[in-house]
């Protein structure tokens, strides 16, 4: 049984409130906390308030998804000449500059079907929650934290699995991105078809702009994406209603300074942030941040949890990504 099959079986038992994203993918504690029924990317439940059985299932799934041990050492801040040139005054300014840079990059060849996608990530909050779990829970899984993960570029079994409408293999995502139209409106319409919104038990359909933002964020998590396609994605992202850019660089889970492109959820009290490297404009990770102080009801018989404005619920950094020739190989 391959890892992706194991992952799906493990995730199937986890009490996720909504939608699903691919391999380092997840969304969001905020959906469970806020009690939203809308379809968004699948999230990890908070291990501190989940039932014992749920904790074990989610822990196992999350280990396959992110596989994080110690966050890597922080990258030095972006050079002053780079940050000084950044224009964070608006989404169109920041993302337009990023797109112009990417348009000038050479498009590498598509990976071969026998190659693997290597990624390395950091998720300090998940590591903290893992450390806080009782030893008997940790002992119920043979999985452990490691910082590196590998997925096959070509995974036909996963491509034929239609149980998760947001999951796409690395090859599918590459070709979806490469085939996107230039026009932002047409591009967004295409991605909304590729990553459909919820219905029935998955929750009510998302509004157009929230759906577009989610679809873009799902695709941006994929690796690799041709630079010219990523440029088109960034230009389309700047046109989505409600999208903003933080007017200063923020620190990600690995301690790096990054650009935060944000949008508040239509329902709930948090915003989602897509993080972008300010030097090469690659995808750097994601965050969910509380926008209004509020209480979240706990399980029966427990005190509610107070979430304060500015609390970071999800903080994930991708610190390395590359195409390699074999599982276990590092660039």
C-alpha 309/C-alpha 258 separation (Å) is: 21
Q: What is the pLDDT of residue 45?
A: 28
C-alpha 252/C-alpha 312 separation (Å) is: 11
Sign of the dihedral defined by the CA atoms of residues 224, 262, 316, 207, in that order: negative
Q: What is the dihedral of CA 327, 109, 159, 237, to 10 degrees?
A: 110
Nearest CA-CA partner of 81 in 278, 282, 283? 278
Q: What is the pLDDT of residue 232?
A: 98
3-state secondary structure at position 330:
coil
Q: What is the pLDDT of residues 242-275, one digit of tens each?
A: 999 999 999 999 999 999 999 999 988 999 999 9
Q: What is the pLDDT of residues 270-290, one digit of tens each?
A: 999 999 999 999 999 999 999
Confidence of residue 157 (pLDDT cuts 50, 70, 90): confident
Mean pLDDT over each residue of the chain, to the nearest integer: 77
Confidence of residue 22 (pLDDT cuts 50, 70, 90): very low
Please write down the long-range contacts of 212-217, taking CB distance under 8 Å and 24 or more positions apart. 212/188, 212/236, 212/240, 213/237, 213/240, 213/242, 213/243, 213/263, 213/272, 214/19, 214/40, 214/41, 215/188, 215/191, 216/188, 216/191, 216/240, 216/274, 217/41, 217/272, 217/274, 217/286
Give yes or no for residue 168 having a pLDDT over 70: yes
| Cβ–Cβ < 8 Å for 206, 198 | yes
Confidence of residue 26 (pLDDT cuts 50, 70, 90): very low
Nearest CA-CA partner of 252 in 72, 62, 21? 72
C-alpha 168/C-alpha 170 separation (Å) is: 7
- Token look-up 């230039």 returns 182
C-alpha 277/C-alpha 98 separation (Å) is: 10
Burial of 295 (0-12, 13-18, 19+ CB in 10 A): exposed
Q: What is the pLDDT of residues 219-243, one digit of tens each?
A: 999 999 999 999 999 999 999 999 9
Nearest CA-CA partner of 149 in 314, 320, 27, 9? 320
More confident: 205 or 108: 108
Q: What is the pLDDT of residues 37-91, one digit of tens each?
A: 333 333 332 322 232 233 333 333 333 333 333 333 334 444 433 445 799 999 9
> Over the range 199-221, which residues count as b (16 or more CB within 10 Å of their CB) and which as e?
eeebbeebeebbbbbbbbbbbbb
Lookup: tokens for 89: 């005054």
Rounded to two decimals, the pTM is: 0.74
Highest mean pLDDT among 141-150, 154-163, 265-274: 265-274
């Amino acid at each position: 049984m391959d890892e992706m099959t194991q992952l799906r079986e493990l995730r199937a038992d986890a009490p996720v409130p909504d939608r699903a994203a691919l391999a380092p993918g997840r969304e969001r504690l905020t959906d469970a906390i806020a009690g939203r029924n809308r379809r968004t990317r699948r999230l990890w439940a908070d291990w501190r308030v989940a039932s014992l059985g749920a904790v074990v299932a989610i822990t196992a799934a999350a280990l396959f998804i992110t596989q994080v041990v110690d966050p890597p050492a922080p990258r030095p801040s972006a050079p002053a000449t780079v940050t000084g040139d950044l224009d964070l005054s608006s989404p169109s300014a920041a993302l337009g500059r990023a797109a112009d840079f990417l348009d000038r990059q050479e498009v590498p060849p598509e990976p071969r079907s026998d190659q693997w996608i290597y990624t390395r990530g950091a998720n300090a909050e998940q590591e903290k929650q893992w450390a806080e779990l009782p030893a008997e829970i940790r002992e119920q899984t043979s999985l452990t934290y490691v910082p590196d993960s590998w997925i096959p570029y070509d995974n036909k079994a996963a491509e034929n699995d239609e149980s998760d409408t947001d999951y796409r293999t690395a090859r599918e995502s590459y070709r979806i991105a490469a085939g996107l139209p230039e026009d932002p409106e047409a591009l967004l319409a295409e991605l909304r078809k590729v990553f459909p919104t919820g219905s029935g038990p998955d929750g009510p359909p998302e509004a157009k702009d929230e759906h577009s933002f989610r679809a873009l964020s799902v695709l941006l998590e994929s690796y690799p994406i041709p630079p010219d396609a990523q440029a088109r994605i960034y230009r389309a992202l700047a046109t989505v209603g409600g999208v903003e850019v933080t007017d200063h660089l923020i620190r990600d889970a690995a301690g790096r300074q990054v650009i935060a492109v944000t949008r508040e959820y239509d329902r709930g009290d948090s915003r989602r942030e897509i993080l972008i490297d300010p030097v090469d404009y690659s995808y750097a990770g994601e965050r969910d941040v509380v926008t209004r102080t509020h209480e979240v009801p706990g399980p029966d018989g427990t005190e509610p949890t107070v979430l304060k404005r500015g609390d970071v619920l999800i903080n994930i950094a991708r610190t390395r990504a590359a195409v390699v020739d074999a599982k276990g190989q590092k660039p």
